[in-house]
Amino acid sequence: MIKPDGVRRGLTPEILARIQRKGYRVVGLKQMVIARETAEAHYGEHKERPFFGELVDFITGGPVVAIALEGENAIAGWRAMMGATNPASAAPGTIRADFATSMGENVTHGSDSPESAARELGLFFAEGELLA
Ligand code: GTP
Ligand code: MG
């Protein structure tokens, strides 16, 4: 997902270009504003964290671009392209190192396991919106 800060800053084409160069297949692509209850479900694992409210406010605060990627080892590969959650620790050349300045606004999101990918695809895409 390209988070609201990334969309607002016009980074969508740059990020899609990186995905294309990497060789992943885009099987779903959608610009949308996330409903609050969807965001709360999406970030459910962080419910008890002190920054949860801020996180939900941020992710619902403007359009995001939801992207469904397919490719060999795509979950770990996309997370490697994003870099560390905190951009100060992200490796040079990663999306977060190149574009993000804070932990809260770190440009992109990636599912962290096959289970969370399945859950998140179900939250953001309706049946029939993904290519076979
Ligand atoms: P996501 O792909 O967005 O899930 O990032 P991640 O898996 O690298 O990090 P994690 O799931 O642990 O946290 C989810 C998001 O919460 C992060 O991407 C940050 O934007 C935000 N976050 C995590 N820790 C903090 C924090 O201490 N303060 C604030 N403001 N945001 C945080
Ligand atoms: Mg996460």
At 50, list the tokens: 């002190």
Q: What is the pLDDT of residue 98?
A: 98
Taking residues 23-39, what's their average pLDDT?
98
- Ligand closest to 108 (CA) is 1
> pLDDT tens digits, residue range 56-102?
999 999 999 999 999 999 999 999 999 999 999 999 999 999 999 99
Residue 132 domain flag: no
Q: Which of 55, 59, 89, 112 for a ligand 1 pocket mutation test, highest count of atoms within 8 Å of Cβ? A: 55
What's the sign of the alpha-carbon dihedral 73, 78, 84, 85? negative
Rg for the chain, CA atoms, rounded: 14
Task: Please tell me whether 9 is known to bind a ligand.
Answer: no
Domain of residue 77 covers 4-124
3-class secondary-structure state, position 79: helix
Mean pLDDT in residue range 27-54 = 97
ipTM of the modeled complex? 0.91
In a domain, 29, yes or no: yes
The CATH number of whichever domain residue 45 belongs to comes to 3.30.70.141
